[in-house]
């Protein structure tokens, strides 16, 4: 791999293949920034075995971000490892009071850290008050005035414990549809959509190290998936003064893969870290960088942000 290709590879946070040997090969060969773990990486293994595997991954790629989706409730990957442990949703925790909310989230954060996982794709900062909405069960099921402070408290807790958190899914799903299987569009007015920014502003003020950008199309901001939109990254980085890592939602999802090379579009738009990006597209990124289509300053900015995240949260 060329020096340029190595730099570009370090802007990927790849999805686990589910196979330990293959994951290790990818980490050794490409040195991506991180690896996203799923339930399949934990199921049927002992806690000791999981710790050993993750330690081997970290040896293969110093500074590795080992990520997981551990929101609680419907999205709880740790349940595969700890089937007898209950992981209620964030809304359920919050209903029992702020102290209980923080105590339970502290338990989970410490479990992750003990295993060797240093990045949790939580909390969900989306606002939804419609029980029929796709995202509702994963949100705090509260208005902005209650959601914002809870999101900030979660992020501050994780920072104190040395585990990276991630506010998602910018600029807010509202009550739009699911982008896992097909594109989804939010047709609300700018005034309505801007309400969804309030929890993200609270997250930024609390020092959130990563923010995940949705594949949702928010028509009042720009056409096409937010994760591939320069206007959305300008909103996040310039208007909201965010200096952390902007990570795409998983690029393996249908709403992103409608583009021939979403990795290139996302980086050009302003993404810093490509979740679920295909490493086989590295030659396309390299060619774009060499031609100037992907500006050197854009690559440098992303590299600095990602390296800072790794330095701050490496285990």
Name residue 217's beta-bridge partners. 185
107 closest CA partner among 189, 265, 115: 115
Please report, to the nearest 10 degrees, the dihedral formed by the alpha carbons of residues 159, 35, 310, 281 taken in order.
-130
CB distance 72 to 90 below 8 Å? yes
Residue 130 is a catalytic residue:
no
SS3 37: strand
CB distance 273 to 33 below 8 Å? yes
Name residues whose C-beta falls within 8 Å of residue 146's C-beta, 6 or more positions apart in sequence: 94, 140
Residue 180 is a catalytic residue:
yes
User: Tokens in use for 35?
Assistant: 């690896």
- Report d(CA 154, CA 238) in Å as an integer: 24
Name residue 34's beta-bridge partners. 13, 65
* Identified catalytic residue from 249, 250, 301, 311: 249
* Identified catalytic residue from 175, 178, 180, 301: 180
Q: How far apart are the first and last CA of the chain?
A: 27
CB distance 122 to 154 below 8 Å? yes
Name residues whose C-beta falls within 8 Å of residue 83's C-beta, 6 or more positions apart in sequence: none
Pairing of strands 217-218, 274-275: unpaired
Q: HSE of 61 in the Cβ direction (CA atoms, 13 Å)? A: 26
Active-site residues: which are they? 180, 249
């Amino acid at each position: 791999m060329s020096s340029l290709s190595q730099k570009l590879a370090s802007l990927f946070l790849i999805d686990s293949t589910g196979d330990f040997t293959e994951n290790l090969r990818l980490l050794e060969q490409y040195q991506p920034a991180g690896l996203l773990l799923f339930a399949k990486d934990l199921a049927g293994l002992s806690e000791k075995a999981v710790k050993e595997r993750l330690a081997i991954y970290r040896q293969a790629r110093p500074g590795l971000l080992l990520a997981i989706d551990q929101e609680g409730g419907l999205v709880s990957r740790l349940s595969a490892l700890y089937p007898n442990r209950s992981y209620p949703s964030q809304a359920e925790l919050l209903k029992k009071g702020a102290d209980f909310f923080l105590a339970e989230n502290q338990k989970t954060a410490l479990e992750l850290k003990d295993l060797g996982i240093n990045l949790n794709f939580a909390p969900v900062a989306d606002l939804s008050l419609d029980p029929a909405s796709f995202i509702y069960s994963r949100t705090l099921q509260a208005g902005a005035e209650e959601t914002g402070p809870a999101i900030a408290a979660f992020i501050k807790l994780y920072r104190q414990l040395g585990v990276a958190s991630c506010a998602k899914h910018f600029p807010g799903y509202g009550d739009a549809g699911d982008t896992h299987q097909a594109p989804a569009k939010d047709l609300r007015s700018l005034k309505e959509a801007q309400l969804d920014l309030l929890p993200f502003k609270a997250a930024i003020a609390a020092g959130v190290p990563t923010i995940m950008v949705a594949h949702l199309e928010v028509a009042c901001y720009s056409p096409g998936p937010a994760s591939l939109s320069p206007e959305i990254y300008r909103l996040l980085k310039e208007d909201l003064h965010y200096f952390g890592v902007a990570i795409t939602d998983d690029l393996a999802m249908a709403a992103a893969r409608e583009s021939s090379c979403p990795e290139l579009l996302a980086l050009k738009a302003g993404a810093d870290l490509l979740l679920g990006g295909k490493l086989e597209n590295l030659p396309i990124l390299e060619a774009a960088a060499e031609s100037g289509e992907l500006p050197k300053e854009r690559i440098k900015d992303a590299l600095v942000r990602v390296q800072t995240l790794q330095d701050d949260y490496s285990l």
